Structure 1
Amino acid sequence: MRIQLFYNSPKARRYFRAIRDGLNEDTVALAPIGLSSAPALPEAELAWMTAYSTARKAARPDLSEARLRQYTQVLRRFARWHYGAVHQRMRLMRPDVVGVWGGQGVDTRAVRRAAAALGIPCMLFETGLLPSTTTADTRGVNFENSVPRDPQFYARYTAPAELPRHFVPRRAPQGEAEPLPARYVFMPFQVALDSQVLLYSPWIRSMAQFYWVMENCLREVPEPLHLVCKPHPSCKQAHNELRRHAASHPRLHIVDNHSSEDLIRGAEGVVTLNSSVGIEALLLDCPVLCLGDACYAIPGVAERSRSPERVREWLHALALGRPPAAPLRQPFLHWLANAYVIPGSHKAPEDPHFRRLRARFAAAVSEAGHGLSAWAAAA
């Protein structure tokens, strides 16, 4: 089985070297994505490869339409050059499967598109859905992944699994922890320009909008319930206006010095766009409401809302002590642990990680029907 792994960062290069060493295969090759000349590509192909990067720039309020058009044209040139480089490398090695970290950047999407053009399955790697795991999926990452969305699939799933009950904080809290209300719903903010917000959040387009929608909904919810927000530790936005408003509001709080795990454990529910904090809440048996597109927003696992009215209903039920039932929460998590995630973080993979990954690569090749015969036919 010939495996070709394309890296686009030092992090990905380190992980792919670990895969090569851990699989102990002479046919695992690493290569930078690189740049090279390429033939003209259809506009639709270039638009798809640059969609996320263009959306990131378009979200900047200081960028004029003219500058955005210029930037888009530059992105499309780079998409074509990345495509040309990886297409050439794939044709030279003739791999059975390729891999790349992430799913949305111009260089990553160029790898995906070149692999598709040559009929090669492409494994996309990302931080795992469960703590201390890794995602390896040929369909996509985040909402695009291959996690089944049919509730009946989980209703039939009965295999148990050992689940994590404690999480490594993304960044250790600094300073003294702020006081928390007795009863609250936790609202984790997300990175403003992340694909989770730009691509998978149809009606909430920013953390400010998230805050004001929830503030408006809270007005019609019984008094004891508060909302506690925590900015994402990797987001550079200061949220100064929101902080000033929360400081004068009796039931809204923005905190920095609590871990997400502690905030989940004390909450009566978590409302999120599609954050991985939602998965952590499921692991701690905490009700979850998703306002964006999330692979875990499945009836019986987590609730989903596309309107303020539904948010108010969910908050009201929590305030009255009647959270929605989630009978499929545990089967969903057990299936993730048993069948979907690759055990172990990409930062320190060990033998169980490589065994599961080897099987995942083999399944991708088998499903695609790819191999020497396919390349012989292509030649």
Structure 2
Amino acid sequence: MKTGWIKILLLFCSLQVFSQQLEDKLWQAGFENVLIQEQRDSLNVFFENREFRNPGHSIYFAELISGKETEINNTNITWLPLYHNKLVGAYEASSFQLTTISQQQREFFNRNNKPFKNYRFSFRLHPEVVSRFGYYSDPFETKFNMILDTRVYLAQGLSLQTGITIPIVNNLDNHGMKLRAAPTMLHYFTQPWNAHFFSFSAGTFYNDRYGFDLEYRYDQLDSSWSFGFAVGLTGFYRLYGLEYSSEPMDKLYGVVDVEWRTGIENTSLKLSAGQFLYEDRGARLDLIKQFPMAEIGLFAARTDIGTSGGFQFAFSLWPGKIIRGKKLELRTTEEFRWEYTYNNEDPVARQFRIGMPRLSDVLRNYNEAWIKQLGN
């Protein structure tokens, strides 16, 4: 009887030591909000990694860090990656099988999540590029700004994003070359129930817009289908140095979409319809292909303004980490996304940019089939 209790005590102590070592290693490697829940011979590991665009890479990296010690300690691990300080999914180590986030896991995370303590002050460098081609007098018109911004977590799921825009080149519009505030917004992200995701933003956005944006998405993460909608009320604003002007917030948009993961070469088809950013009504079809380090898509659109088409891509900017300390980090952006449309004049089916990826672009990378492929 005593021998049995001694074995249990030794197992518990070994698990605690391994848990602390793993937490320290993950934090040193750039992971944030690392929380570890110990359960007999298993661990639930909660974490966020803002350096990677693709969460599969962060899970795989965490798996490498845990190393052979997992086998030596006979420990089962469930990885629970976070996005903007909120739970997204739960994946079993090695198999990368998606599991349901339990109520016990939610309660543990809610008790121990401390945004101010568990995150670094992360400053992010990312470019803003807007181009127009085809004019005889000026065949390549472009606006290129470098943005230095940061995201501060105020409460669970609630953050403030702000920064400064540094103009580099501009022969496209009359924004000028003065330093000005970057898009600044309050943002709230949550998953109150499994597979139901909400995103709400208020502030100044890209496309010279300010206002409100609400997005919902239903995505089971192990399914080939997902759907959602985005609605918002915006107005035009202009910031020239410290000079600010705006128009009434009276432009409404609302778009619904459905996305199908085809199972062929990691491609997805996404159909969107409704009233787009510039109040044109119609539909847009995207063909999206995922690569481990990037995402490339083709699209075609038709609205009451006209017809258009083009391509888009998204990838992480090199080198990622520039400086990293215990509480401070400077890095390049985890996602640079750019879109080109052949119709330069008419804003046909323009998507709204709020300063963070749309839910469909985020959750596509958490799909179980995609995580398994990256991990194996």
- Say yes or no: TM over 0.5: no
Higher relative CO (Cα under 8 Å, sequence separation at least 6) belongs to 1
The alignment's TM-score, normalised by the length of structure 2, stands at 0.28
Higher share of residues assigned helix? 1
Instruction: Say which structure is richer in strand.
Output: 2
